[in-house]
Structure 1
Amino acid sequence: MGLFILTVFVIIFIENYFDQNYTLRYHQTIRNQEQKQKLEFVLKEQLLNIQLLFNSYSSVRHPQQLANTHVEIREKINNCINLLNILDQGGRFQYRNRVNLTSADEIIEIISYERDQYTGTIPEVRELYAPIQDLQSLSARIAATMRGYLEADAAQAPAILETANFYLKQAESVFDRIYETERKIAYDIQSNVVSVNNTSINVLNRYNRLKYFGLILFSIVTGLVTYLIIVQISRIILVRKKAEANNAKLLMAVEQSPVAIMITNTRGITEYVNHSFVNKTGYTKKEIIGSRPYFFSNNGIYDFSEIVMATIQVGNKWSGEIETKDKAGKTYWEKVQISPVLNDENTISNFIIIREDITEKRLLTQSLNESIENLKNITDNLPVGVMLVDANHKIIEVNHTASKIMGFNSVEETINFVNSRDYHQLFEVMHQNSYNDFNSGVEVIALEERLTIKENNISRIILKNIIPIKNNNQTVKLEAFMDITAQKEIQQREAEANKAKSEFLANMSHEIRTPMNGIVGAAELLVRTRLTQEQYNILSVISRSCDNLITIVNDILDFSKIEARKMTIETNPFDIRKSIDYLMDQISFKSNEKRLNVMASVEDNVPVIVKGDEGRLLQVLMNLLGNAVKFTDIGEVVLRVDTESLKGKEVILHFSIEDTGIGIPPGKIEKIFESFTQADGSTTRQYGGTGLGTSISKMLVELMGGKIWVESPNPAVKDNEEFPGSVFHFTLPFLIEKGGKQEDIYRNRFAGLSVALLDNHPLGQLLLKKMLQTWGVEVHVADNHKILIELLKDNPDLDLIIADSHIEEVNKSDFVSGLRALHPDIRLILLMPENHSISAITHRGFNRIVYKPVKHSSLFSTIYDLFNPGKNGELSPAIADADEDDAEEERKKVLLVEDNLINQKIAEKMLSRLKYDVIIARNGQEAVDILEKDATSADLILMDIQMPVMNGLDATRAIRARNIFIPIIAMTANVLKGDREICIEAGMNDYIGKPVKIDLLEKMLNQWINKPLLKK
């Protein structure tokens, strides 16, 4: 009760205190702020009036009205300045206000404002002084201007009025600034009023809360005391229940624990065991509780107290692994942990024993240890050295093989030695590269190093792979290496043997080609003299035998290079059709000699320009075409080129060589590509050859990324057991040259041309027709002379006849005259083998001759020449006039540098036959001496390579060093790949291999003899 009375008294005292000290003060502050707000209203009103007066300037028409307006503006501006002073410093303002708009009566209101410490000053008030004073200045200017306007005549009035308007616009800008600042002042005053009101309300609310708080304080205190008593009682009950629940949870957790748990008293008597203990041991709780725990081992029974008492009685924990038995006698391993339980007095009240079955873990650990030991044994016995090296190039681990390679007897000795030396001095890197492991993606560094340990007399070449691995959370290098010193020595011996082999082959080739050059040259010179038929036949045998021998030498050289893996494949752009034409040219002599039809067909889908090894492609085609011609006595040989697949810029071309020859027996097809093997041993005696051609072709095709196969009999030859024929196929990948997909220059070039084709060979007729149609030609086919005559009668617009010489009527003397009788203006082209006599048919009136095998470019340029005379500088050969001008030109001089007397004589005869003057030098030094005396003594130099005193390469370098740039052509028996490049690098211009053929020599001389001196 006393507390309640005290509370009421305190409330009354606080209420009186705050009423006197705070409430009155807040009321005064609110009134003061309201007065301040009134001042702001008056200020705004004065400003609006001033603006209205400014606007009235434009409508003033009398001087008195102008003066009144200016005076009124000045008064109101003074009022504004007074208002600003009161707002800033405080004071009183007497405000006159009309009762209403229609009344002249005024009410005088005094507004009193004291500067308030609570809200402070408003900075924007002082900012208004300057623009308001600007208004006073502008008013004076406008008044003066308008006075001049009223007094001015009509001519001056507009200009003065424009000046007044200019000042009015300035006034508008000033008013905008004033109103913007005034709005800030109004906002600050309004905010202060709201803030003071809110503060006052909050204070009054606090007073009321305090008053009512005192009234209920006693009730609250009384209720609180009662509540605390009840809560304390409830808390005690709740703590007890929680303890019981926790004990139940703990007991449940212990009971359901997967490990066996036992609790004993200080004397070792069991008081509790959990369910896992019972399950594991096989004993019931009744059998265990009250007894002393024991553990079994192979040596007998050990009492609990004897094992652990000495440790746990002093408060320490004991743990160990024990082999024990369950009730059924089954042995198992346990990890036992015994801990003392301390009571509140810090003395031991119980012991808790935790027993965990670790039998499986021990087995796994044992297995892991055995695996580690096995891995260590494997690592130690690997045939390669293995090291773990840290980031500082210090060895962490090393196997026995590595120790042996380094010449040490133990791992410890190896680690101590290597870690005490500079790692990089012991392992000197000779070669290094890296690659990403396909499976793991880890970068593997592959090294070839020289291992040098002088203390052990060790100097070995090792091959090492390094990969990064993790070891104890650190990145280390696993280095595996093997001693390859013996392999390196073997490689060195093999390299020396290969070098000796290459030198032997080069020397053999040179020694064979040197005398062969004399034989071939002499035979060619004799052929060009007057001979009997018997002499001509004997020389043909000599030439053919020489060609066969050179082919055999070339095959052996190529086979040796491929076998030694020294054959390289080049990639250069070339025109596939020009290559096929060249091939037809090369094979024509043999095919015409045997009167075989050799044809080539390149499909339209084959790109114009491809990138690959043209030389090796031609070598394969020449081998296969040569074999086809060799083993075919009757019929035809056809080369076909087609596109097998095209993906982007990659194209696979399919080449096939079909023949109607002797074919290949079924049992011999698999052996046809084996080295030194032919389909039948008897063919070697009948046809000759080494059996290397197809083997080399297969190797080259596979080197270029293609595949090759053969089928026999030829599907196109049916039911011909004597000549079943065969078809050799191969595919090769090429790149389409950038810009190489240019439009075929031949396509539709002869659109509108009408041609009659006289040919009774079905396949030849088909291929020629297809070729002509590609060029846009309208083709009419005739199998015989009678059909041709009918075509001429039915088609008077025919432009051209192409006739094959193997048709009997074509060779008759009246063939051409009969055609011209029907069609006087028609043009005629004859297709014939090159070795037929031209003179026998020149009088028959053919316009052009195209030699067989028919080449794509030759037939095209011949037709073009016929219908566009003089427009093409690269036309096919026409029949030369018998009276061709053979006027002699000034003979050119050739310096022949050759040490072999026979080759000198042969070359001299050839050059003389070709109408060249010859200067002979027996070695390189003589050639240099001749040119030093007179650099213009020769127009061209033919330079042998292997010569005494000074060889051809050194002689060329010496000549070029003297700034003599006469064309130099190597004429040598060195024809291995790379020899040409060596000659060009030395300063020569071209290269011709021995044995030298006169037609090739003539072509080479014509290419270079008329060129101006070459200057670098």
Structure 2
Amino acid sequence: MKKNITSYSPNIILNDINLIVIVTNASGKLVYVSPATEKLLGFSNEELINEWWEKTYKSEIESQTVKEKIQQTLKGTIKVNNQSYDRQVLCKNGSNKWIEWRDSIGSDNTYISLGIDVTEWKRKEEQNLQNEVILKNINSIILVSSKDGEVIYVSPSVIKILGYSNKELIGNNWWLKTYESTGKAAQIKDAIITELFSTEPVYTNTNRQKIKTKSGSYKWIEWARSKSLNDTFISIGTDVTSRILSEIELNKAKEAAEQSLKVKNEFLANMSHEIRTPLNGIIGFTDLLLETEITEEQRKYLKTMNNSGEILLSIINDVLDLSKLESQKLEAEEIPFNLHLQIEKIVNLMDVKAGHKHIQLNLEIHKDTPKFIKSDPTKIGQILLNLIGNAVKFTNHGSVTIKAFLNEKAANGPNICFEIIDTGIGIVPNKINTVFGAFNQAKSDTSRIYGGTGLGLTIVKKLVDLLKGQITVSSIFGSGTNFKLSLPIKIEKSQIETPNVPAPIVKFEALNYNILLVEDNKTNQLLAKTRLESWKCNVDIAENGFEGVKKAEKKIYDIILMDVQMPVMDGYEATKIIKNDLSEEVSKTPILGMSAYTASSETEKMLNSGMENFIFKPFKPTDLYQMLVKYAKK
């Protein structure tokens, strides 16, 4: 029997509450829809009553399934489900709303479904789930803390980065568990709160800290912080451990490199001193002998010795300062000079050595080779000296031939070309490509048999590169070697010759200075004393800086010549004491530093110690004389 629909008219409660209520009879037809349903879904009451199954379901299959379930329930075939469930319902405007349903059986065997709109809650839940997934997969730690530093939220990512669960670090646990000490934790917490909520200056670095993991190891975390709502603040921490460890390793490598450079510089300073000290004696005494009455033959020998010393000194100036070659700080000069004379000078030097080995040294300068050019004579001389010296050293029978000629058709302009051809031992085929490498020689016993360090050709290659030239080598093992060298030059138009006559003996004026010479080397003592006494100076000698200070304290000198590298007390320390710790009168005594090491760091060190100026060994008599005249107190 069909019931009167008016018996199901809503009362005042159903009219006012925001609930969906639908009542379905055993045939699956809706017999009641609450007024709120029309408001929530947008359909009219008539549409909902007559077309509920067609209008509010996404598919016919779904609506038919639900209708059949209701019918089976009302027949008693299945029991009603008392649990709530969610289902999306279509609205008239085409949107969907999530409705939470709860079903029951009416007293008149009707199926009553009560629905609450949970769309907004669902949206927030989905957003929360999405945020949770993001926070779980983000590679940073996110903390939300109260104004007093208590942690109220920790992102799930903390377990991946530090090993803790987020619950383990809530409240004050973050500060207790992740810092190496409670004192450190309190210091950082106070600094962060002050930084965010106060205007007081903060002196503690809060942006990067070592954070302890659950395993007991530490990770470097870099933080970014900002204030948030309700007096909270957010901290975002990124794991930068790999970067920090790389920086630490880089700093260690840098310190090791700097220490290595320091050791190298100390070695070069000592080596320079050890080589220049005897060289100072050779050149100095040769100069003294040249100023005496000697025969022309003796003068010729002495001038050769003097030239040899000067060339050796020139080489030492470049070779010992390896750092300049390696860092490409050497600069090429471009000055006019007599190329023929320079070549002949080098060949004459090597001729003596070739003669001792009974090998022939041939020089062939092509007639088209320009006599005057612009380039760097010192470096060209050093290149030729190394190449010819190398050829003579490794040739036991036969000859060494030096050829010089001009190539005007080179792509980079006129080139002066050299060939150094020897009939020596040659180079084994598998070593031909390594001869320009540092300390490389053709065979392991080469150095033992022939001497040398294997550094000569390395220097040649660097100097050739510096002059923007090219060098190649070809060899037949056991038959000889041929080096070919090409250097760009400018042809000098000027034909002014330097007369090849003996240099006149320089006559120096008497100085009559009282000089204190502080020098530990006996040869240099004798050389300096002899030179200074030839200028009518009175010379007192101190063996080291300590003795120099004592003598300076007892006697006022016109000038002090102070060697810098000495035992007991070096020249730097002695100068500081004389300038700062003795009497005012003594402090005014000019001090000239003497060093065999020409690095810029050495000159700065001498001037910083209080010296008026400095002179490098071996020095020319005229340079020393001019220094004395300029700085002596008289």
TM-score, normalised to structure 1, is 0.37
Provide the rounded CA distance (Å) in 1 between the counterparts of 2:525 and 2:277: 9
How far apart are residue 594 of structure 1 and its match? 4.4
> What is residue 726 of structure 1 aligned with on the other side?
486
How far apart are residue 362 of structure 1 and its match? 10
Q: 1:893 to 1:542 in 2, by over 3 A?
A: same
How far apart are residue 554 of structure 1 and its match? 2.0
Question: How far does the alpha carbon of each residue in 1:712-767 deviate from its partner, in whole angstroms, 9 at most, with x for none?
Answer: 79xxxxxxx98864358xxxxxxxxxxxxxxxxxxxxxxxxxxxxxxxxx952xx5
> What is residue 374 of structure 2 aligned with on the other side?
600
Q: Select the structure of larger CA radius of gyration.
A: 1
> What is residue 337 of structure 1 aligned with on the other side?
100
Q: 1:482 to 1:1004 in 2, by over 3 A?
A: farther
Q: 1:288 to 1:414 in 2, by over 3 A?
A: closer
Q: 1:686 to 1:988 in 2, by over 3 A?
A: closer
Do structure 1's residue 525 and structure 2's residue 284 form an aligned pair? yes
Do structure 1's residue 982 and structure 2's residue 601 form an aligned pair? no
> What is residue 577 of structure 2 aligned with on the other side?
958
SS of the aligned residue for 2:320 comes to helix
Provide the rounded CA distance (Å) in 1 between the counterparts of 2:534 and 2:325: 37
Letter in 1 for 2:345: E
The correspondence of residues 204-353 of structure 1 with structure 2, limited to 5 A, is: 272-275=52-55, 277=57, 279-282=58-61, 293=70, 305-307=80-82, 320=86, 335-338=98-101
How far apart are residue 952 of structure 1 and its match? 1.4
Q: 1:397 to 1:306 in 2, by over 3 A?
A: closer
Provide the rounded CA distance (Å) in 2 between the counterparts of 1:295 and 1:960: 116
Q: 1:526 to 1:973 in 2, by over 3 A?
A: closer
**1:508 aligns with one of 267, 285, 294:** 267
Do structure 1's residue 943 and structure 2's residue 606 form an aligned pair? no
How far apart are residue 984 of structure 1 and its match? 0.9
**2:515 aligns with one of 894, 897, 900:** 894
The correspondence of residues 637-786 of structure 1 with structure 2, limited to 5 A, is: 659-662=416-419, 689-693=455-459, 725-726=485-486, 764=491, 767-768=492-493
How far apart are residue 982 of structure 1 and its match? 1.7
> What is residue 500 of structure 2 aligned with on the other side?
837
Provide the rounded CA distance (Å) in 2 between the counterparts of 1:470 and 1:636: 81
> What is residue 549 of structure 2 aligned with on the other side?
928
Q: 1:687 to 1:898 in 2, by over 3 A?
A: closer
> What is residue 552 of structure 1 aligned with on the other side?
319
> What is residue 622 of structure 2 aligned with on the other side?
1002
How far apart are residue 694 of structure 1 and its match? 7.3
Question: How far does the alpha carbon of each residue in 1:918-966 deviate from its partner, in whole angstroms, 9 at most, with x for none?
Answer: 331222233233333332x33x322122334433122212222233333
Greater RCO, 1 or 2 (C-alpha within 8 Å, sep 6+): 2
> What is residue 45 of structure 1 aligned with on the other side?
none
Are the equivalent residues in 2 in contact too, given 1:446–1:463 (CA < 8 A)?
Answer: no
How far apart are residue 545 of structure 1 and its match? 5.1
Letter in 1 for 2:570: N
Letter in 2 for 1:1003: D
Q: 1:966 to 1:588 in 2, by over 3 A?
A: farther
Provide the rounded CA distance (Å) in 1 between the counterparts of 2:211 and 2:42: 66
Q: 1:972 to 1:425 in 2, by over 3 A?
A: farther
Provide the rounded CA distance (Å) in 2 between the counterparts of 1:320 and 1:418: 44
Q: Which has the higher helix share?
A: 1
Provide the rounded CA distance (Å) in 2 between the counterparts of 1:590 and 1:351: 114
Are the equivalent residues in 1 in contact too, given 2:518–2:563 (CA < 8 A)?
Answer: yes
> What is residue 992 of structure 1 aligned with on the other side?
615
> What is residue 108 of structure 2 aligned with on the other side?
none
Q: 1:1012 to 1:418 in 2, by over 3 A?
A: same
Provide the rounded CA distance (Å) in 1 between the counterparts of 2:544 and 2:572: 11
Provide the rounded CA distance (Å) in 2 between the counterparts of 1:294 and 1:658: 110
Letter in 1 for 2:577: A
Provide the rounded CA distance (Å) in 1 between the counterparts of 2:380 and 2:145: 61
- Identity in percent: 13
Provide the rounded CA distance (Å) in 2 between the counterparts of 1:975 and 1:366: 73
SS of the aligned residue for 1:660 comes to strand
Q: 1:335 to 1:914 in 2, by over 3 A?
A: farther
Provide the rounded CA distance (Å) in 2 between the counterparts of 1:463 and 1:586: 67
> What is residue 969 of structure 1 aligned with on the other side?
592
Provide the rounded CA distance (Å) in 1 between the counterparts of 2:286 and 2:506: 24
> What is residue 184 of structure 1 aligned with on the other side?
none
Question: How far does the alpha carbon of each residue in 1:209-260 deviate from its partner, in whole angstroms, 9 at most, with x for none?
Answer: xxxxxxxxxxxxxxxxxxxxxxxxxxxxxxxxxxxxxx9xx7998579xxxx
Provide the rounded CA distance (Å) in 2 between the counterparts of 1:680 and 1:662: 24
Letter in 1 for 2:623: K
Letter in 2 for 1:307: N
The correspondence of residues 54-65 of structure 1 with structure 2, limited to 5 A, is: none
Q: 1:960 to 1:487 in 2, by over 3 A?
A: same
Do structure 1's residue 919 and structure 2's residue 540 form an aligned pair? yes
The correspondence of residues 846-925 of structure 1 with structure 2, limited to 5 A, is: 886=507, 888-912=509-533, 916-925=537-546
Q: 1:290 to 1:487 in 2, by over 3 A?
A: closer
Q: 1:363 to 1:493 in 2, by over 3 A?
A: closer
How far apart are residue 967 of structure 1 and its match? 2.9
**Structure 1: tracts of 5 or more residues without a match:** 1-246, 265-269, 309-317, 323-332, 341-347, 380-385, 430-444, 571-575, 602-617, 639-654, 702-707, 714-720, 729-761, 769-801, 805-829, 840-879
Letter in 1 for 2:53: V
The correspondence of residues 162-177 of structure 1 with structure 2, limited to 5 A, is: none
Are the equivalent residues in 2 in contact too, given 1:591–1:597 (CA < 8 A)?
Answer: no
How far apart are residue 985 of structure 1 and its match? 1.0
Letter in 1 for 2:497: L
Question: How far does the alpha carbon of each residue in 1:659-679 deviate from its partner, in whole angstroms, 9 at most, with x for none?
Answer: 42349xxx9999899655799
- The CA RMSD measured in Å over matched residues stands at 6.5
Question: How far does the alpha carbon of each residue in 1:456-506 deviate from its partner, in whole angstroms, 9 at most, with x for none?
Answer: 9x998x866444579889653435443899889978876776676456445
How far apart are residue 898 of structure 1 and its match? 0.9
SS of the aligned residue for 1:978 comes to helix
Provide the rounded CA distance (Å) in 1 between the counterparts of 2:510 and 2:56: 122
Are the equivalent residues in 1 in contact too, given 2:101–2:116 (CA < 8 A)?
Answer: yes
How far apart are residue 628 of structure 1 and its match? 7.4
The correspondence of residues 351-390 of structure 1 with structure 2, limited to 5 A, is: 372-373=135-136, 375=137, 388=143
The correspondence of residues 152-171 of structure 1 with structure 2, limited to 5 A, is: none
How far apart are residue 988 of structure 1 and its match? 0.9
Are the equivalent residues in 1 in contact too, given 2:461–2:471 (CA < 8 A)?
Answer: no
Q: 1:350 to 1:371 in 2, by over 3 A?
A: closer
Provide the rounded CA distance (Å) in 2 between the counterparts of 1:678 and 1:912: 49
SS of the aligned residue for 1:837 comes to coil
Letter in 2 for 1:660: C
Provide the rounded CA distance (Å) in 2 between the counterparts of 1:998 and 1:255: 111
How far apart are residue 525 of structure 1 and its match? 3.4
How far apart are residue 321 of structure 1 and its match? 6.3
Provide the rounded CA distance (Å) in 2 between the counterparts of 1:321 and 1:623: 93
